[in-house]
Structure 1
Amino acid sequence: MLQIKTIIPRSYQNEIFETSKEKNTIAVLPTGTGKTVNAMMLTVYRLNKIQGSRAIIVSPTKPLCQQHFRTFLENTTIDKNEISLLTGAIKQDSRLDLYKISRIIIATPQTVKEDLSKGIVSLKDVSLLVIDEAHRAIGNYAYTFLTKRYIEESEFPRILALTASPGGSKQKIDEICKNLSIEAIEIRTEEDIKEYIQEKNVKWLKIDLPDSLKQINSLIRSVYKEKLKDLRNIGYTKPVAIINKKDLISLQIDFRKKLGAKNPSAYYGISLTALLLKIDYASELLETQGLVSLKEFWNKLKEDKTKAARNILNIRQIQEAISLTKDLIENGVKHPKLHILKDIIKKELYQNETSKIIVFANYRTTIDEIISFLNEEEKVNAIKLIGQKSGLTQKEQMSVVKNFEEGSPNVLVTTSIGEEGLSINSATMAIFFDSTPSEIRNIQRAGRVARIRAGKIIFLLTNDTREIGYYWVAKRKENVMRKTLKQMQEKSLDDF
C-alpha cells in the first residue's frame, strides 16, 4: 500500500484533499505553501483506491518536473522503479517502456502530447492527472489537448490542477476551468493561511529620473507626440493624449487585415504604428532600465532594415538622443535605480551576512549591468539565472539555483525564468528592479521569498512613469482574481 512518509498535512491541505477526492479541482494557493503535498495526497489515495491504475503529473519545464520527481521519491513509499521522469530528451522507445512499468509518471505536457499523438501511450488506466502551473491552460497550450484526451479515454478520470495565480479576469479563469474540466475551486489566500506562512514586509520606493535622463526622454517623447498626430491623416479619431501601446498594437493588426484589399493607407498605417511602437519602447527602456539598455536598442535600430527604423534614425531629435546616450554612458551616468539597488543590498548584507537576495529584471542587458555593478562590492557575490533562449540549458539553470541555495553567491539576478515554480527556499529578500502589469508574474515573483523565514519585498518604481501604472494595474488584477475565485468557490461551476 502506497503511503506518504513524514509529512503531516495542514488543515487547508486536508480540506482541499477532501474536495479533490470527489471532484475535478483547481487548487489556488500562494507559492511555497504546499501545493505539491496535495498532489501527493491525491496520488496516493487514487492509486490505492484503484488498484493497477497509474497517475500522471505534468509540469511545464524539465527543472519543475525534476523537482516533483525528487519530492515524490523522497516523501512517498513509491518504489524507485515505479516512478519515472519523462521528457523529450528520453528516446521514444525508452519512454514506451517506462510508461508500461511506472505507477507514477512525471512529464512535460509536450512529451505526453507527442506520445499520445503517435499512439504510444494510453490514458485508459490513468486514475489521476495532476496539472501543475495550471494558469498556462489557455489557447492551444498542451494542457488543453491533454485534458480533453484524458477525459475521453480514462475509465476513471480525476483531475487536480495547481496554481498560485490563474488570472485577473473571470473570463480567463472560466477558460482555464473549462479547458481543464474543473468542477470545484479551492482557493486560500495568504490571509486565510497566515498561521502557516512567514511574514513578508512589502514596500515600494519611488525614484526620480535625473535631469540628464529626462532630457533624453523629452527628446524621444516629443517625436512620439508629433508622430501620433499623423494618425489623423489615416482617419484615426481617438484623442492623441490618451492613445496607448495597446491601441497602437490593435491599430496595426487592423491595418494588416486591410493589406489584402490593396488599401494604400494600410501600408502607411503599418509603418507609422511600427515607428510609434519603437519610439515608445525606447522611452520605456530609458524610464525603467537605463542608458545601457537604451544604447543597445539604438544599435539594433541601426541594424534594422525596415522603413520604420530608417525613418526614426533620420529624425533630428532621435539623433540628438542617441548622441546624448553615448556621452552619458562614457561619463559613467547610470539609472538611479542601480545605485539604490546596490545600497539596499549592501545594507541587507551588512545587517545579516547570511541573507539571500533575488533581484527580478525583465531584460538580459539590464541583468548583465546589474551583476557587473553589484559585484564591484566586496560583500556581494551576484550570479544570473536566465532562460534557454538567452543561453542557459535547463540543467545549467538548476545548477545555478543549487549554487545560490547552497554556495557562496548571495544575490541571484533573474529574468522571468526565476518567477515560476523553481523552488528557491533560502531567499530572504526579493527586489523588483522593474514592474510588470501582469498579476500572475507579480504573484510568482513574490512567492520566491520568505518560504522558510520572514522576508522583504521591495519594488523599485521610476516616478511619474508607466511603472507606477503597471504596479497598480497588477495589484488591481490580483484583487479581482481573488474576489472572483472566492465567488466562484461558493457556487457550482454550472452556475457561472
Structure 2
Amino acid sequence: MNGVQYINHPLIKPDTVEQRLYQLSLAGEALKKSTLIVLPTGLGKTIVALLVTVSRLGKGKVLLLSPTKPLVEQHAAFFTSAMNIPPEEIVMFTGSTQPVKRLSMWENAKFIVSTPQVIENSLLGKKIDLEKVSCIIFDEAHRATGDYSYVYIAEKYFQQNTEPLVLGMTASPGSKPEKVHEVCGNLHIQSVEMRTDSDSDVSPYIFDKDIEWKYVSIPVEIKGLKKLMDKVLSDRLNKLQELGFLLPSQNRFTKREMLDLQAKMQTQLRSNPDQRFYNGISVLAEIFKVSHAIEIAETQGISALSKYLERLENEARSKSGSKAAKRLMDDLSMRQAVHHLEGCDGNNPKLGLVRELVQKQIFDAPQSRVIVFTNYRDTAELVTEALKEVPGIKPARFVGQASKYKDSGLTQKQQVEIIQKFKDGEYNTLVATSVAEEGLDIPATDLVVFFEPVPSEIRSIQRKGRTGRKHAGRVVILMAKGSKDEAYHWSSNRREKNMQDTMKNLNFELEAQIKGEISNHAASNAIGGQKVLLDFPQQNTQVQSKNNAAKVFVDQRELRSQVVRALEKMGLDIVLKTLEVGDYVLSDRVGIERKTAEDFLSTFLDGRDLFGQISDLARTFKRPLLIIEGDGLYTSRQIHPNSIRGVLTSIAIDFGVPIIFCKDSEDTAAFIGLIAKREQAGKKTEICLHGKKTAPTLPEQQEYVISSISEIGPSVARKLLKHFGSIEKVMTASREELMDVELVGPKTADRIREVVSGEYKG
C-alpha cells in the first residue's frame, strides 16, 4: 500500500480518490447491469457509487437516495469535493427544500442527492419524472422492503426509463433468503457483488479487529427482582391458558411467539367477537410489559429498570393509559418489586466494566475515539453520566430524534454537531443507540463496546464496522450470564454466517431467474407472433390513460399513507393540495375523511375534535363519507366496544355521514377510485375546492385547555368550567375546592394541582 495511486478521470478531481482494485472491479460490474454491492462498513461503498456516477453522467442525471438528512448532507459534501463538475450542478433535496424550488433545481442538476420521501412525493405529485435519469443509487439498500419509498421509486424508474440502471449499496442485506430476495426484486437487481474482509483484493486494506466477549454476573438483588416479576409473568401465562390459548413452554415464550399469538387473536376476533379474545389480548399486553421489564433488569440493571417502571406507573395513572398497565402496576408482586427496587443499589456491573474499558483506552492512547453502543436511551444516559466522572473521558450521548416521556431526542442538526465535535476531539467517546449504526460519517474508532449484544446481524455488522477501518481496532461485547444477552449473541453470530451463505447462492438464483423470464417472454412472443400485455411499454399506456383518468384531490398530509400510491398505480390523476376539510375530494359533492382504526381510536384519548372534523365534512359536502381503514377497531386499545359503537352511531345518525370500513390501503384506494370514476363520468366541470374549517368557539377552546390535563376528559372539563366560570379560577382553585365539583375526586384534584403548581423541568 506504499506509494498511493489516485483515480485518473476527467470528472474526478486529481489526487482525491485512492485507486483500489476491488472498488474498480465492483464499479465495473455495476455498470454492466443493475447490481447490489455488499461491502463492509469503511471499505468505500461511496467510492464505488462515485465511479459509477462519473461513468453514467454522459447518459443523463444520476440520483443518489439516502434514508436521512444527515446522510444526504454527508453524500452531497463528499461528491461536491470529489467531482470535477460545477457545484451548482450538484443539488441536495431534503424535506426542508421548498417544493417550489425543487423543479428548477431538478431540471438544471446533473447529480441529485435526496431523501427518498422527497422524490416519492414529487413523483406522486407529477412534479418530476425519471425518464432522463441514467442511474439511481440506493444507499442502505436493505431498506427496500414493504412500503418503504425505495420500492415505489424503483418501480416508477423502470416504468418511465428505457435504459434504467440501479446500484444498491449495503453493508448487510440480512440473513434470511426471502428478505434478500425481496430487496433484489423490489430494486430490479440482476447481480449481487459481495466482498468480505478475507477476499484477496480487500485484505490489503483491512486492519486487525480484535473481538472479545466479557461476561458479568447478574447481581443477587436483580435476581430477587426477577423472581418477583417471574411470578407475575407466570400468573399471566396461566391466565392465557385458562382462557383456552395454547402456549409453548413458559421458558421459551419468545417475543416473536407473543406477536404471532397476538395476530392470531386479532384475526379470530374479527370473525368471532368473543369476550375471551378481548381478555386474551389484554393479558398478552401485560405479558409484553413484564417480559420487557425482566429483560431490562437482567441486561441493563437497576437504574434502567427504575426508569422503565416509572414510565409504566405514569401510563397506569394517565387518562389514556391502558388497562394492562393499570392492572400490572396494581399487582401485589409488581408493587413488591417496585418497593424492593427503592432499596437497591443502582450500580450495574456492566457500568463499571465500561468505565474501566474506556478509561484504559483513553489513558493508553489519549487521541483515541470510542463508541459505546446500547439498545436503550435510559442506559445511554446512565453510561454517559458515569463516564463524565472519569478524568480524561469526554462523553456525549448520541440518540435519535423522537422525544419520549422525560427524554428529549436530538435534532438532526444537533446530531451533526456532536459528530463534528467527536471528529475534532471535543468529545472522545460517543454513547450511542442504534442511530449511530447506519451510514453516518462517524470517524474510525479505536474501541467499540456493545453494552449488550443485538440479535440482528445487520446491526451487529454495522456496529463492528465502526472500528478497524484506518488502523487496528477492538470490539468488546458485554454479556450478563444466563440472560437474554447470551441468546441474542449466538443468534446474531448464526445470522451473520447465514447471510454470507445466502449471498453466495443468490447470484446463481438471480441468473437462473433472469434466464427463465427471458425464455418465457420469448416463448410468448413466438406463439403466432402475437404481442402479449408485457410487450407494450407500461409508461406509454399510463400516459395515454391519464387523459381520461378520474381526478382525485388529495390532502398533502395523506402522502404518508399508502393509499395515494395505490391510487396512482390504478391510473387515477392525483392532484396534491392542502385541503382544509377532508382528506380526499372526488367531486363538488363528495368529500372523504380517512382514518385508520388506530387514528380513529386515538381521537378518543388525545383531545382531537373528531366531531368537529365530521361536522365540517357534513357542512361542506352534500355526500360526505368517513372511511375507517384497518383492523383492531375493537381490540387495539382498551376502550369499551359500546363507547366506540356510540361514536359511530352519532357520526352516522346525528351528522348523517355514512361510514365505509376498509380492510387496508388498497381496499381504501379501490373504493375512492370507484367513487371518483362514478362521480366524474361524462362530466366536464372542474371540481371546486370550497371547504373551510369552522373556527372553534370560545367555550370549545376553554374546554380544550382544561381537558388537555391528564385524568380530565371533556365532561369533567365542562363541569369544572361551569362550576368556577373561567380557566383562571379553575387553575387557582385549591384541592378542596376542586373536589367540590361533581366527578372530581382526590386523584384528579391532585393531578390538576400538580400540573398548575409543579416546577417546569423541560
Q: TM-score under structure 1 normalisation?
A: 0.96
Please show how residues 223-262 of structure 1 align to structure 2 within 5 Å: 223-237=232-246, 238-260=248-270, 261-262=272-273
Query: Secondary structure in 2 aligned to 1:445?
Result: helix
Tell me whether 1:82 sits opposite 2:93 in the alignment: no
Query: Partner residue of 1:476?
Result: 494
In structure 2, list runs of 5 or more residues that go unmatched.
1-9, 316-320, 404-408, 515-762
Find 1:397's aligned residue among 415, 419, 422: 415
In structure 1, list runs of 5 or more residues that go unmatched.
none
Query: Partner residue of 1:286?
Result: 297
Tell me whether 1:133 sits opposite 2:133 in the alignment: no
Query: Partner residue of 1:309?
Result: 325
Contact 1:224/1:279 (<8 A) preserved: yes
Query: Partner residue of 1:344?
Result: 357
For 2:267, give the aligned amino acid: K
Query: Partner residue of 1:385?
Result: 398
Contact 1:313/1:319 (<8 A) preserved: yes
Contact 1:427/1:450 (<8 A) preserved: yes
Give the 3 Å change call, closer, same or farther, for CA 3–404 of structure 1 in structure 2. closer
Find 1:67's aligned residue among 62, 74, 87: 74
- Distance across 1 between alignment mates of 2:314 and 2:12: 60
Give the 3 Å change call, closer, same or farther, for CA 491–275 of structure 1 in structure 2. closer
Find 2:211's aligned residue among 202, 213, 217: 202
Give the 3 Å change call, closer, same or farther, for CA 269–491 of structure 1 in structure 2. closer
Contact 2:303/2:346 (<8 A) preserved: no
For 1:268, give the aligned amino acid: N
Deviation sequence 1:191-248 (CA, Å, 0-9, x none): 1122212211101111101111111111111221232122221223333333222212
Query: Partner residue of 2:161?
Result: 154
Tell me whether 1:107 sits opposite 2:114 in the alignment: yes
Deviation sequence 1:308-356 (CA, Å, 0-9, x none): 222222322211110111111xxx4311100111011111111111111
Tell me whether 1:358 sits opposite 2:371 in the alignment: yes
Query: Partner residue of 2:36?
Result: 26
- Distance across 2 between alignment mates of 1:208 and 1:404: 33
- Distance across 2 between alignment mates of 1:479 and 1:2: 39
- Distance across 2 between alignment mates of 1:88 and 1:373: 37
Query: Secondary structure in 2 aligned to 1:388?
Result: coil
- Distance across 2 between alignment mates of 1:354 and 1:27: 33
Find 2:425's aligned residue among 396, 403, 407: 407
Query: Partner residue of 1:323?
Result: 339
Query: Secondary structure in 1 aligned to 2:467?
Result: coil
Q: Which moved more, 1:260-269 or 1:33-42?
A: 260-269
Tell me whether 1:264 sits opposite 2:275 in the alignment: yes
Shift of 1:490: 4.4
Q: Say what the alpha-carbon RMSD is for the aligned residues.
A: 1.4
Query: Partner residue of 1:172?
Result: 179
Shift of 1:4: 5.2
Question: Which structure: larger Rg?
Answer: 2
- Distance across 1 between alignment mates of 2:389 and 2:250: 45
Contact 1:55/1:129 (<8 A) preserved: yes
Contact 1:125/1:156 (<8 A) preserved: no
Shift of 1:491: 4.9
Query: Secondary structure in 2 aligned to 1:144?
Result: helix
Contact 2:39/2:45 (<8 A) preserved: yes
Find 1:188's aligned residue among 167, 189, 195: 195
Tell me whether 1:369 sits opposite 2:378 in the alignment: no
Shift of 1:143: 0.2
Shift of 1:471: 0.8
Contact 1:425/1:451 (<8 A) preserved: no
Give the 3 Å change call, closer, same or farther, for CA 296–110 of structure 1 in structure 2. same
Shift of 1:102: 0.4
For 1:94, give the aligned amino acid: K
For 1:68, give the aligned amino acid: H
Shift of 1:406: 0.8
Deviation sequence 1:12-39 (CA, Å, 0-9, x none): 1122112111100000000010101111
- Distance across 2 between alignment mates of 1:221 and 1:62: 43
- Distance across 1 between alignment mates of 2:232 and 2:56: 63
Query: Partner residue of 1:334?
Result: 347
Contact 2:207/2:469 (<8 A) preserved: yes
Query: Secondary structure in 2 aligned to 1:460?
Result: strand
Deviation sequence 1:344-377 (CA, Å, 0-9, x none): 1111111111111001111111111111111011
Contact 2:301/2:348 (<8 A) preserved: yes
Query: Secondary structure in 2 aligned to 1:15?
Result: helix
Find 1:39's aligned residue among 49, 54, 64: 49
Contact 1:187/1:489 (<8 A) preserved: no
- Distance across 2 between alignment mates of 1:3 and 1:378: 45
- Distance across 1 between alignment mates of 2:81 and 2:208: 28
- Distance across 2 between alignment mates of 1:95 and 1:492: 37
Query: Secondary structure in 1 aligned to 2:63?
Result: strand
Contact 1:405/1:425 (<8 A) preserved: yes
Shift of 1:494: 3.5
- Distance across 2 between alignment mates of 1:315 and 1:234: 19
Query: Secondary structure in 2 aligned to 1:160?
Result: strand
For 2:237, give the aligned amino acid: L
Tell me whether 1:298 sits opposite 2:304 in the alignment: no
- Structure scoring higher RCO (CA < 8 A, sep ≥ 6) equals 1
Query: Secondary structure in 2 aligned to 1:457?
Result: strand
Contact 1:30/1:164 (<8 A) preserved: yes
Query: Partner residue of 1:222?
Result: 231
Give the 3 Å change call, closer, same or farther, for CA 108–215 of structure 1 in structure 2. same
- Distance across 2 between alignment mates of 1:285 and 1:446: 23
Give the 3 Å change call, closer, same or farther, for CA 491–262 of structure 1 in structure 2. closer
Contact 2:301/2:346 (<8 A) preserved: no
Contact 1:166/1:173 (<8 A) preserved: yes
- Distance across 2 between alignment mates of 1:253 and 1:234: 16
Identity fraction in percent: 33
Contact 1:57/1:107 (<8 A) preserved: yes
Query: Partner residue of 2:674?
Result: none
For 1:382, give the aligned amino acid: P
Contact 1:205/1:461 (<8 A) preserved: yes
